[in-house]
Amino acid sequence: MSRPPANLLLGGALVALAALAALVSLVWTPFPHAALDVANKFAPPSAEHWLGTDQLGRDLVSQLMVGAANSLAVALAAVALGGGLGTALGLAASAMGGWVEDLAMRICDLGFAFPALLFAIMLAAAFGPSLANAALAIAFINVPVFARVARGAANQVWVREFVLAGRAAGRSRLALTLDHIVPNVAAAVIVQATIEFAVAILAEAALSYLGLGAQPPSPSWGRMLAEAQTLLWIEPMLAIWPGLAIVVTVLGFGLMGDGLRDLADPRLVRER
Amino acid sequence: MTPSALLAATASALALALAFAAPASAAGTARIGLQQEPTVLDPTADATASIDGMLAQNVFESLTTVNEAGEVLPNLAERWEIADDGLTYTFHLVEGASFHDGTAFDAQDVKFSFDRAMAEDSVNPSKSIWAPIASVEVLDPATVRLTLTRKDAFLLFNLAQGDASILAPESADRAKTEPVGTGPFRFVSWTRGDRLVLAKNADWRDAEAVSLDRVEFRFIADPASGAAALMADELDAFPGFGAPEMLPQFEADPRFAVTVGSTEGEVILAMNNARAPFDDPRVRQAVNHAIDRDAIIDGAMYGRAAPIGSFYPPHGPAYLDLTGTWPHDVEKARALFEAAGVAGREMTLRVPPFAYATRSAEIIQAQLAAAGVDAKVETVEWGFWIGEVYKNRNYDMTIIAHTSPNDMGNFARGKDYFYGYQDDAYDALWAAIETEADAQARAELQREAQRFLAEAAVHAFLFQLPKLSVVKAGLEGFWASSPVIFQPLAGVRWAD
């Protein structure tokens, strides 16, 4: 097998950076992330505070690290939940065919037509804003995406000879789905999941920016951006660091998704 | 194209662009940013400060008014006599005033408005204004007499407030959505979530003195959005600006004038005295020990606020510095929380969506956490706050600015008020303040009341809300400080 594509390596490295920060934050941060030290606000970067402190004297590195954990946790939950449900729906639709498939796809169209942020705002109004509700809202927008991808890929497999042979041999649709369809759509779903990870991180940042995601004192990159907005004139770095964290992570997942697609699609690799 | 032709083309394009950009603020229009959007527009039916801020003394008028120095001036009553015993006030009304719908103003309207506010089923937010009034009599269409059951040192001042606005019986029922008054501006429209528009009332008795033809209030709760709207020339003024950290930026910008004045708004960390665990004085004392006012003022207000240790503004004549009553002492706070059995317990801090409140909440949350109590911050919409916290008293702790002047009487409003606080000794003290006519003696009583509230640790008193105003250069007449909640716009004008 040839070398993995460069975008996969670069994307993987960026994602690993964010994941490392998130994992380390679970056991250690330079300072407690919510510890206020108002007398020491807007401190410049130093040996103690590597990136300085924010408007309430909280350590920026610690906040970015816990923010990474929150962002990735929300993205993971949203993609796992939305992707799991969506993929199951897509596979079922493809296996059953006929009016069931049509109905499932029309429901997906409905999901696509529904503005995700509006749904999140409704959810926050009904259950109160929180990270968990943000994850639910993002999972909801992921369901139709995965359903589409899974159904499309599965439909291509159902007409292949080995599946037709299985059907001729009298195997059930469920058994065929588990044995032959799932392994063959896995690549497409994994690529989609990587890309949706990037989308979920952006969505979490947007929701938190609007005050519908992480609630104080739980830090979030989106909320850090929102809070830094009135401080641009005093301390622009407070907006730049969380912004950079979002860009790096989203870019990382985007590149990784592209790289995985290149790996999964032999035709593209041959052309290279 | 030769370089000079290119230059000329660029210059004319630029001139064109400027020509289109310039008339954004039409002369005669003022676009004013407000943090708080009310849920109804009747100042005699709801305690929301921005109703008075927009409409009192602009759309509605009262018998008296108050100037920026806090002095009472005649308004719908052009003069009055007070009987020697202080129990009878005779008001002589202005002639020829009329409501915006064309109905004439006379003494019957005053009687109607006051009787409505004093009725059993009244929803007037300031019952204390009406408590001393026994009866309202119409002597003739231009004369009204109030008879009091006891002396009231604040009566003329109180009658200037939005709570005592004069409404007409013909239109009062619709005032919640369609306010009709006698003032220099008439109500045009209210687009919920966006803006409220007033237009000049050409029939006002002193209409020549009013410069503005149109006033638009825009509701912008988020200070960052408010700042962006000012910068983008979508607003002409933000008289209660919420982001003190941005003032240096506006101060450095010649397009704006920045003023920092005072308000009557005491910002308090209110505790629900009627609900456990805050019915236990040790818990309230612990909260007072746990908070660090200097850090709150520095972190939330960037130092632009004066600390208060009780419920009286620092610029008032009877002010007493009681900020040392419960010094910041985390260990003491922790011990008191433990003694009261609430250490480690979770409680909610339900705050309205204003920057001073949400920012203070975040800091107070950290300070309470340091003393061993887990406070969950919930930022709620204003309509929810006024309904759930203020009216239904469904909260543990909240943060709110009490912008009414002379409002120490809040603590004498009994258990039905959202403080859930009642103390006979304080009720007696407040009754004495209200009836004391001598200013010196009254100030002494007010100092006693301040000490009483501080020592009872009814709430944690935080700081006096400053009035941070960002106004476009050339727009004159806004008050730098607010002795009352309303802001008369009749005197606001664009300089030539």
Tell whether A28 is covered by a domain. Answer: no
* pLDDT on residue A122: 81
B156/A180 Cα distance (integer angstroms): 87
Q: Which domain holds residue A146?
A: 6-20+40-267
B262/B244 Cα distance (integer angstroms): 14
CATH number for B247: 3.40.190.10
| CB-nearest partner of A230 from B243, B295, B367 | B243
Q: Cβ B366–A217 below 8 Å, yes or no?
A: yes
Domain count, chain A: 1
* Nearest residue on chain B to A227, alpha-carbon basis: B224
Torsions phi, psi for A161 (to 5 deg): -60, -45
Contacts of A216 in chain B (CB under 8 A): 361-362, 365, 377
Domain count, chain B: 3
B200/B58 Cα distance (integer angstroms): 9
User: Is residue B157 domain-shared with residue B208, that is, in the same domain?
Assistant: no
- Residues with Cβ within 8 Å of residue B122, at least 6 apart in sequence: B116, B130
Sign, CA torsion B40/B44/B50/B55: positive
CATH number for A151: 1.10.3720.10
Q: Cβ B298–A215 below 8 Å, yes or no?
A: no
Spell out a b/e string for B280-291, using b for 16 or more CB atoms within 10 Å of the CB, else e: bebbbbbbbbbb
Contacts of B361 in chain A (CB under 8 A): 216
User: Is residue B121 domain-shared with residue B200, that is, in the same domain?
Assistant: no
A33/B304 Cα distance (integer angstroms): 26
Q: Cβ B299–A229 below 8 Å, yes or no?
A: no
User: Is residue B364 domain-shared with residue B377, that is, in the same domain?
Assistant: yes
Is omega for the bond preceding A217 within 30 degrees of 0, making it cis?
A: yes
CA distance A33 to chain B (A): 11
Q: Assess whether pLDDT exceeds 90 at residue B82.
A: yes
User: Is residue B151 domain-shared with residue B52, that is, in the same domain?
Assistant: no
* pLDDT on residue B13: 46
Is omega for the bond preceding B244 within 30 degrees of 0, making it cis?
A: no
User: Is residue B319 domain-shared with residue B388, that is, in the same domain?
Assistant: yes
Encode pLDDT of B368-420 as tens digits: 999 999 999 988 889 999 999 999 999 999 999 999 888 999 999 999 999 99
Q: Give yes or no for a contact between B292 and B367, defined as CB atoms under 8 angstroms apart.
A: yes
A100/A107 Cα distance (integer angstroms): 11
Encode pLDDT of B117-148 as tens digits: 999 999 999 888 999 999 999 999 999 999 99
Q: How many beta-carbon pairs under 8 angstroms link A with B? A: 49
* pLDDT on residue A128: 78
CA distance B397 to chain A (A): 16
Q: Cβ A217–B223 below 8 Å, yes or no?
A: no
| CB-nearest partner of B227 from A38, A55, A230 | A230
B319 falls in which pLDDT band (50, 70, 90)? very high
Encode pLDDT of B204-223 as tens digits: 999 999 999 999 999 998 88
Here the tokens at position B20 are: 């289109």
* pLDDT on residue A1: 52
Encode pLDDT of B152-193 as tens digits: 988 999 999 999 999 999 999 999 999 999 999 999 999 999
User: Is residue B325 domain-shared with residue B307, that is, in the same domain?
Assistant: yes
Q: Give yes or no for a contact between B312 and B444, defined as CB atoms under 8 angstroms apart.
A: no
Q: Cβ A56–B299 below 8 Å, yes or no?
A: yes
User: Is residue B420 domain-shared with residue B306, that is, in the same domain?
Assistant: yes
- The three-class DSSP label of residue B71 is coil
E strand or H helix at B338, and its extent?
Answer: helix B330-339
B340/B391 Cα distance (integer angstroms): 28
Encode pLDDT of B28-73 as tens digits: 999 999 999 999 999 999 989 999 999 999 999 999 999 998 899 9
- Check residue B458 and report its DSSP letter: -
* Nearest residue on chain B to A55, alpha-carbon basis: B299
* pLDDT on residue A267: 61
Torsions phi, psi for B162 (to 5 deg): -60, -30
B8 falls in which pLDDT band (50, 70, 90)? very low
- Selection from B402, B34, B380 nearest residue B222 by Cα: B34
User: Is residue B426 domain-shared with residue B297, that is, in the same domain?
Assistant: yes
Q: Which domain holds residue B329?
A: 264-466
User: Is residue B146 domain-shared with residue B234, that is, in the same domain?
Assistant: no
* pLDDT on residue A113: 84
* Nearest residue on chain A to B377, alpha-carbon basis: A216
CATH number for B396: 3.10.105.10
- The residues in B 331-370 lying below 8 A from A, measured between CB atoms, are 361-363, 365-367, 369
**Vertex B312: Cα angle to B308 and B314 (nearest 5):** 60
* pLDDT on residue A2: 64
**Measured between alpha carbons, how far is residue B158 from residues B48, B110, B271, B373 in Å?**
17, 15, 27, 41
* Nearest residue on chain B to A42, alpha-carbon basis: B299
A interface test, pick of B292, B330, B348, B362 with most A CB neighbours within 10 Å = B362
User: Is residue B279 domain-shared with residue B420, that is, in the same domain?
Assistant: yes
CA distance B402 to chain A (A): 25
User: Is residue B188 domain-shared with residue B45, that is, in the same domain?
Assistant: yes
- What ipTM was assigned to the predicted interfaces of this complex? 0.78
> Alpha-carbon dihedral of residues A128, A129, A135, A139, nearest 10 degrees?
60
Q: Give yes or no for a contact between B396 and B350, defined as CB atoms under 8 angstroms apart.
A: yes
* pLDDT on residue A270: 46
User: Is residue B121 domain-shared with residue B162, that is, in the same domain?
Assistant: yes
DSSP secondary structure of A209-243: HTTSS--TTS--HHHHHHHHGGGTTT-THHHHHHH
- The three-class DSSP label of residue B217 is strand
Q: Cβ B377–A36 below 8 Å, yes or no?
A: no
- What is the average pLDDT across B426-455? 94
B256/B233 Cα distance (integer angstroms): 11
Residues of chain A with pLDDT below 50 are 269-272
CATH number for B90: 3.90.76.10
